[in-house]
Amino acid sequence: MAVLVLDRRKKPLMPCSEKRARLLLERGRAVVHKMRPFTIRLKDRTAEASTLQPVRIKIDPGSKTTGVTVIREDDSDPEQQQVLMLMEVEHRGHQIKDALTQRRAFRRRRRGQLRHRAPRFDNRTRPRGWLAPSLQHRVDTTLAWVARLRRLAPVTAIDQELVRFDTQAMEAPEISGVEYQQGTLHGYEVREYLLEKWQRRCAYCGARDLPLEVDHIHPRSRGGSDRVSNLTLACHDCNQAKGNQPVEAFLAADPKRLQRIKDQARAPLKDAAAVNATRWALFQGLKAMGLPVITGSGGRTKYNRQRLGLPKTHALDAACVGQVAAVTGWNVPTLTTRATGRGSYQRTRLNRFGFPRGYLMRKKQVKGFQTGDLVQAQVPTGKKAGTYQGRVAIRATGSFNIQTAQGVVQGISHRHCRLLQRADGYGYTFQPKPLQEDASRAA
């Protein structure tokens, strides 16, 4: 994974390799500017536009996780791309929704505590384009990371997967241009939709991590249609065993699974609905940054990923957004950033009935540290002697907990801690390199 580089005036330069960054730090020509994502700042160089190459940010929006990839384009062929950084942003929309539900319950309880007070709805207006807080969070988090990466790398353009499923291509593939007319992407939109809807497993036996085939719930030979509501996924054995039987006859001995398939065939995609609700808000936010924004569909993303033989991850999906001929340097660790928030105003812990069960301290800083800071602790002696690095959870006594990659280490004195990076509302971890054999199971 490449290391982000800034000049002495904190202007972005072209990223460099880890070896070159290590040499620059050892020779005193650079200092560490940021730990996550790792960025160095040169002491003796300023940015020159002529030495910068085209760098592009690619985004694969998701309901729970958004894939972000920073790539460098080849000057002679922009579709030849080299991966500089893989990143996945984990959203906390579900936590926001749960917190709002709890707040609504508390307000309802207070309205009837002394006397009943009816809720007011006629004095609340919503602006045009309003999104629920849990959805707005996904847009804001993605835009914040794009803006941060623009400050750390010389970004010249942005690619976004605007539509998860191209419904026009699903209904009439011939209307979307010569690619669909020639059959290059025919079927990829439908398959991607079905894979998301049926959780990438056989609807009849539940098997996964094997090739799946599209099956008609009500057979075509018996009058079934090709609409996506009549399609499901099945492994080869189940598809052959079912044949042209009605699903009621094939699953007559398993009524529970039969009912579950019927319910799921009619059920909407909740996560896909969240992505569709925020896609245009994200697109408008990216356009407002003043950079060219190129969009693509989920079907084309999957087509590129399978054609290039890449494993199925959110970050690599982002690398395959838009027009891609080849991707190099993709087998690197992925930086996972989990949205944790910046604390809470609530200083009282409540039980399930809404009554206080504990109180938090009023100060958010102890001995210069705050919960969420990235620290390094060097304990010289005792049972916990050693070096630990991770996010800190403070206590009023000055004895902290540190969340490391191996687990939580408790009771570390603040005197042994050294601040590496202030809390910024995210927790950082690294995923190992994706395996090449995973690409065969991503279909």
Report DSSP letters for 329-365, one per residue.
S--S-EEEEEE--S--S--EEE-TTS-EEEE--S-SE
Flag whether 354 is in a domain: no
Q: Is 356 exposed, middle or buried (0-12, 13-18, 19+ CB in 10 A)?
A: exposed
Check which CATH number belongs to the domain holding 412 and give it: 2.30.30.520
Find, among 162, 89, 99, 104, the residue nearest to 133 by Cα: 99
Flag whether 321 is in a domain: no
User: b/e string for 309-325 if b means 16 or more Cβ within 10 A?
Assistant: ebbbbbbbbbbbbbebe
Flag whether 236 is in a domain: yes
Q: Does the predicted model carry a pTM greater than 0.85?
A: no
396-406 pLDDT tens trace: 999 999 999 88
- pLDDT at residue 111, as a whole number: 79
Beta carbons within 10 angstroms of residue 62's beta carbon: 23
122-175 pLDDT tens trace: 777 888 889 999 999 999 999 999 999 999 999 999 999 986 655 444 544 444
Q: Is 334 exposed, middle or buried (0-12, 13-18, 19+ CB in 10 A)?
A: buried
Flag whether 14 is in a domain: yes
- Better-scored residue on pLDDT, 100 or 170: 100
| Distance separating alpha carbons of residues 139 and 281, to the nearest angstrom | 7
191-239 pLDDT tens trace: 777 887 888 889 999 888 888 999 999 898 888 888 778 889 999 999 9
CB 392 within 8 A of CB 372: yes
Residue 436 has pLDDT above 90, yes or no: no
Task: Write the CA distances from 194 to 59, 183, 217, 278, 308, integer angstroms.
Answer: 22, 19, 13, 21, 22
3-class secondary structure, 268: coil
- pLDDT at residue 175, as a whole number: 41
For the chain, give the mean pLDDT: 86
Residue 441 has pLDDT above 70, yes or no: no
Report the number of distinct structural domains present in the chain: 3
| Distance separating alpha carbons of residues 218 and 200, to the nearest angstrom | 20
Flag whether 392 is in a domain: yes
381-427 pLDDT tens trace: 999 999 999 999 999 999 999 999 889 999 999 999 999 999 999 98
Find, among 301, 314, 280, 298, the residue nearest to 165 by Cα: 298
Domain span at residue 5 reads: 1-52
Flag whether 146 is in a domain: no
Task: Quickly list DSSP for 102-159.
Answer: HHHHHHHHHHTTSS------TT----TT---HHHHHHHHHHHHHHHHHHHHS-EEEEE
3-class secondary structure, 55: strand
Highest mean pLDDT, choosing among 106-115, 275-284, 414-423: 414-423
Q: What is the average per-residue pLDDT within 13-42? A: 94
Residue 184 has pLDDT above 80, yes or no: no
Chain centre distance of CA 250: 39
- pLDDT at residue 435, as a whole number: 65
Check which CATH number belongs to the domain holding 186 and give it: 1.10.30
Flag whether 186 is in a domain: yes
Flag whether 29 is in a domain: yes
Task: Write the CA distances from 34 to 40, 117, 247, integer angstroms.
Answer: 7, 52, 57
